[in-house]
Amino acid sequence: MTVHDTHCHFLSSRFLEALGMERHKAATSAGDVARELGWDAPGEPSVLADRWVAELDRNRVGRVALIASVPGDEESVAAAVQRYPGRFVGFFVLNPMVPGAIDRARHAFEHLGMRCVCLFAALHQYPLDSDKVMELFEVVRANGGTVFAHCGFLSIEARVRLGLPSVMDLRCGDPLALARTAVRFPTVPVIIPHFGAGFLREAFMAADAALNIHFDTSSSNSWVKYLPGITLKDVFRQALAIAGPNRLIFGTDSSFFPRGWRRVIMGAQRAIIDEIGVEPDVQERIFSGNFERLFPT
């Protein structure tokens, strides 16, 4: 079966340098920050892109979404996409409340070849139905793009490892507020990762209200600990019943090296999908077909 992955972070040198500046209050090389984290230094975007492709080949993965994981790092992912346009789809993080953000989003879509904008509302502390988010959706619609919106619990591994504070307002990651925006833009595909990361009921209600909302299945989904009696198997079964097979998209939340692509996530999710009796054609849609529909080559 062909496997595509809709959730991989392209943790570039610029990403690490931004963390280093925050931690040390001075310019710090990406290599030094990588050593603090116990990661491999990413090098230039072309080098990191080459390593990703080798990793995908080793694991027999076709295409992946690469997320520029700090605002302003779109060009790193754009370089990777330009190098391997048949393997990578460009995603980028944006805080729409920052002055000039809407113009930067327009530039990313129109000139850098980005396909999806990523919103981390809890981190940047804004409501997902704000006027600026609506304005951003207008830009996405005009460019045939997609919106990825993190809802629910959010923890950023690199920040935790470096002891950096993560001041978040989890109330901002409300799937119901996202649904209020999504229903106004029915032609814009919207992806909620991790089934709403703890806001499961709200995420399911949002998907029922806005038929353009999709779920990515990425990560270990450890947020199920907040819902006593619920297992990931229950989540998959209910997501298929509510959202249907065309709105579930496989992802891993892979990020740094040397860990690389998280094959264990695929194994665990394939086991669940087999156990609940998902038909082969539906499995194909989850693991590759829906990705191809949203991000055709």
DSSP 219: S
What angle do the packed helices 74-83 and 13-24 form, to 10 degrees?
160
Q: Which CATH class is domain 5-294?
A: alpha beta
The alpha-carbon radius of gyration of the chain (Å, integer) is: 18
For residue 97, pLDDT over 90 is answered with yes
pLDDT tens, 129-158? 999 999 999 999 999 999 999 999 999 999
| Model pLDDT, residue 3 | 98
Could you tell me the pLDDT band of residue 180, with boundaries at 50, 70 and 90?
very high
For residue 22, pLDDT over 90 is answered with yes
Render the burial of 250-270: b for 16+ CB within 10 Å, e for the rest.
bbbbbbbbeebbbbebbeebb
pLDDT tens, 70-84? 999 999 999 999 999
Could you tell me the pLDDT band of residue 1, with boundaries at 50, 70 and 90?
confident
Could you tell me the pLDDT band of residue 112, with boundaries at 50, 70 and 90?
very high
Domain ranges of the chain: 5-294
Question: What amino acid is encoded at 169 in this protein?
Answer: D
Could you tell me the pLDDT band of residue 103, with boundaries at 50, 70 and 90?
very high
How many CA atoms lie less than 13 Å away from 37 in the CB half-sphere?
Answer: 29
Q: Which pair of structure tokens corresponds to residue 13?
A: 């040198």
pTM as predicted? 0.97
CA distance 240 to 215: 10
Could you tell me the pLDDT band of residue 236, with boundaries at 50, 70 and 90?
very high
pLDDT tens, 207-220? 999 999 999 999 99
| Model pLDDT, residue 166 | 81
